[in-house]
Amino acid sequence: MQSPLLVVDTLSVQFRLKTGQDLQALSDISFNLQAGETLGIVGESGCGKSTLARAILQLVTSTQGEIRWQGKPLNAHDKAGMKIFRRAVQCIFQDPLDALNPRMTVGDILQEPMQALRPELGKAAIRQRADELLQAVGLESGMRNRYPHEFSGGQCQRIGIARALGVEPQMILCDEPVSALDVSIQGQVVKLLADLQRERNLTLLFISHDLSVVRELSHRVLVLYLGRIMEIAAAESLYTNPLHPYTRMLLAAIPLPDPKLERERLAKVKVGAGELPSPLNLPSGCVFHTRCPQAQAVCREQIPALREVDGRQVACHFALQG
């Protein structure tokens, strides 16, 4: 088996607030990502998904652990090495309109990263590639002279995808790329990403709070809660047989289109109640125990290790129960 493209090893991130308090955003995060794979990262708002993305991009400093790209620690790269990494890893952001410069035409927006990171291509080739990218994401090349405010949210996100593809990255980090879009448009954008991933053998790190969205294109899914990994599993096994109570809670939150079936489902399912605890005052033991329907004394006392259970990794003392 080939070496992983990306390895995150026991990563922790802590922030010191102005109040003098320490906020533990991530704790002991470990996973790897193979070339051509899509890893979905899911969890509620405030669980550390975007912090993990920023740590991988070296936009926040980790307090523990290591991130390796193609076998080499990122903190060992010099300025030239980091420029190569920036070209290899691109981003698609949550709000498509805010992510595009309103004072630039679409053509300039697409050409800017190529001019910065692929100047050897030359102006004519960069301009031609920008037109090709517009067509690749389902837009017309004649749209190059228009401004972002002239497009819908879905079209802006397509432009954002085209921009990310411009420098021919190996990996694209998608941070909630469809959460700001209408449900009907979400499906179109997810399908576009899945098609591009297959056609170009892209590696995707797809962050979302919605398990139903992640299912469409992920090979594996990582479930994050209050900065800790709860479960990592192949997508199909996670959706058909979730082992962690938090994973079951997230799946139970996916609405069914049929009102009758939705009422029956809600009557049967047992999900964790209550609000997400503050990361400034994390629960003892398992961080999910305050909302877990099967919590016992050991859950309040001991942090469960991430262990192999039934072909996936799960951090739960009672993973095969419930």
**Ranges of CATH 3.40.50.300 domains, the chain:** 6-218
Name residues whose C-beta falls within 8 Å of residue 296's C-beta, 6 or more positions apart in sequence. Answer: 317, 318
Question: What architecture does CATH give domain 6-218?
Answer: 3-Layer(aba) Sandwich (3.40)
What is the pLDDT at residue 211?
Answer: 86
pLDDT of 62 reads: 94
- What is the pTM (predicted TM-score) of this model? 0.91
Express each pLDDT in 60-82 by its tens digit. Answer: 999 999 999 999 999 888 888 99
Mean pLDDT for 253-274 is: 57
Beta bridge partners of 173: 91, 205
Kindly report the number of other CB atoms within 10 A of residue 31's CB atom: 20
Nearest C-alpha neighbor of 33 from the set 63, 86, 71: 71
| DSSP element (H, E) containing 112 | helix 106-117
Q: What is the mean pLDDT of the chain?
A: 90
How far apart CA 134 and CA 61 sit, in angstroms, is 35
Tell me, what amino acid is at 295?
A
Closest by CA to 156, choosing from 118, 182, 194, 132, is: 182
Report how far residue 161's alpha carbon sits from residue 246's, in angstroms, rounded to the nearest whole number.
Answer: 31
* pLDDT higher at 16 or 254: 16
pLDDT, residue 267, reads: 52
Tokens 């991933």 correspond to 197
- Percentage above 90 pLDDT, the chain: 75
